[in-house]
Structure 1
């Protein structure tokens, strides 16, 4: 049984123990069985896709290899918001998960989004010193923790690169990974990012996982990179300088979550920060609260997918 599933079951057992002085094995087993029935009920309500999947309004195509399956926008947001406990208003186009598991208990998953930021020039790709950039990012993380504390959130310390940034100029694909230490969490958090550059913006694929899964994620990165491509008219090569906007972001800016300018680094909000505190790190508690907070109307719990909130733009800081 997968790591996250074991975490959920352990949590169930601990809760039962706290309320049962006799430490009844039967009650523990019943609680675990109920958790698994609820997970199974949610999974049966999902509609996974395989093979070729078009995302957005004919924006891009995902050619899913045999080892993966896909949830569309509505059900992806359901998992991200209601199960993983992220804020409402996500803009996910979909969710890619390993084919041998379900989204609820997946050890890792790739959230798919699109950022219509304009055409990203890649002139700086060979000039970036990522060691220097990491120093700047760590300073920003310290400053960002002050704001997180003000909002009542856990602090997040950037440990370093889990995978140093790499840009494939021929394929127009950038990818990197960061390791974070989240306050109060035993396992460090993996933030794995892939950016596919297009005519009017970038396709975003971000892994949600704990650091214990980095080997599994790294093993699948070539397959993930190969599966995503913009459709005709939206490709990087389709750029028209007479009509299309140039992004304020550069290759270095995509990695930094900043706009790089002559005057230095100007911080803006890191859009995907919310995903870093999701996934394996919080899913165990979120799933338990989700299960136990529901009213039992039938012997087998049934889950009705909620309508996702309308995406809202995040304010820049």
Structure 2
């Protein structure tokens, strides 16, 4: 008992010293950047808030089931996962999104937190039927982009009525690609939201199954595109359907077929959520030190400059999509 008590006292002192050292380091960085007293206080307060909030989460680093036993995620190295309830808390309570019952979890970089994140991957499940993929190989994605850009412009008045900012679809950040063998589709859009100076990346991944699809939605600034592309293989390989729900197990006598194909899946409407997510990423960066440009310098000085490794996914031979 005495040993445990001494251990906890030592742990408390270590944490206190670490936090004090972090604050001193932040103040030194703020001084070197010639920040005002108010900006320095905001930076320190933000760091303390971020650390306190981070301690309330329980991250998963190995694997987790999704939507009961429908699918699973094997967490890629370099990432961490928040389960359904914690993901809902982040998306709704912290980031201010409307509650979405389809959300199954949230994937974050291992060295980041919900309020200090370059990008996050929202994982959800949509049971809209078996998606026939006959149209995938013959699709003209340039024509599809033109149609989508027209649809976005036409939807902007309605977005404004609902209280959301207008959005422009600039173009493909990554052109659509469909992996016929593994039934996985991905593409990325470059979006520009009203009153924003920088574009938003909306990277979409769909894993097709027997009754619907898993949706991995990556949203961040455009400068995160390279990181996402470098880690695309492990991200793609992280989510798979379990036996009984795989695409190859479709039964036309019992299963419903979706009312759209691959083209309709790509051309789906831009959700208001993308705007919320882009806003919150910029908002937290802004309050940290009063400007988006400065946060990159602070993060580099505070956390150090390091190469981003290409991450390898954990292999799972028991389930093959």
TM bucket (normalised to shorter chain) is 0.7 to 0.9
1:146 matched to 2:154? The reply is no
Which is richer in helix?
2
Of 276, 281, 284, 1:283 maps to 281
Q: Deviations over 1:57-91 (max 9, x none)?
A: 11111111211110011111111122222123453
Q: Taking structure 1 as reference, are residues 140 and 280 closer, same or farther at Cα in structure 2, changes over 3 Å only?
A: closer
Q: Which moved more, 1:238-247 or 1:87-96?
A: 87-96
Match of 1:279, SS? helix
Cα offset, 1:99, TM superposition: 1.2
Match of 1:59 in 2: 70
Q: Structure 1 stretches of 5 or more lacking a match?
A: 1-8, 14-22, 258-269, 290-317
Of 147, 158, 179, 2:169 maps to 158
Cα offset, 1:26, TM superposition: 4.3
Match of 1:200 in 2: 211
1:79 matched to 2:90? The reply is yes
Cα offset, 1:285, TM superposition: 2.9
Match of 2:138, SS? coil
Q: What is the number of residues matched between the two proteins?
A: 256
CA distance in 2, matches of 1:182, 1:32: 26
1:214 matched to 2:212? The reply is no
Of 246, 257, 261, 1:250 maps to 261
Of 270, 273, 278, 2:271 maps to 273
Is the CA contact 1:125–1:252 (under 8 Å) kept in the aligned structure 2? yes
1:71-110 correspondence to structure 2 within 5 Å: 71-110=82-121
Q: Deviations over 1:144-182 (max 9, x none)?
A: 111112223211000000000000000000000000111
Is the CA contact 1:173–1:195 (under 8 Å) kept in the aligned structure 2? yes
CA distance in 2, matches of 1:190, 1:275: 13
Which is richer in strand?
1
CA distance in 2, matches of 1:39, 1:122: 44
Q: Which moved more, 1:81-90 or 1:94-103?
A: 81-90
Query: TM-score, normalized by length of structure 2?
Result: 0.75
CA distance in 2, matches of 1:287, 1:92: 25
Larger Rg: 2
CA distance in 1, matches of 2:178, 2:104: 23
Cα offset, 1:41, TM superposition: 1.1
Is the CA contact 1:120–1:246 (under 8 Å) kept in the aligned structure 2? yes
CA distance in 1, matches of 2:228, 2:101: 23
1:191 matched to 2:202? The reply is yes
Match of 2:13 in 1: none
CA distance in 2, matches of 1:248, 1:285: 38
1:172-183 correspondence to structure 2 within 5 Å: 172-183=183-194
Match of 1:121, SS? coil
Q: Taking structure 1 as reference, are residues 117 and 110 closer, same or farther at Cα in structure 2, changes over 3 Å only?
A: same
1:137 matched to 2:154? The reply is no
CA distance in 2, matches of 1:209, 1:27: 28
Q: Deviations over 1:259-280 (max 9, x none)?
A: xxxxxxxxxxx2x512321335
Q: Which moved more, 1:216-225 or 1:23-32?
A: 23-32
Query: TM-score, normalized by length of structure 1?
Result: 0.76
CA distance in 2, matches of 1:102, 1:149: 31
Is the CA contact 2:82–2:107 (under 8 Å) kept in the aligned structure 1? yes
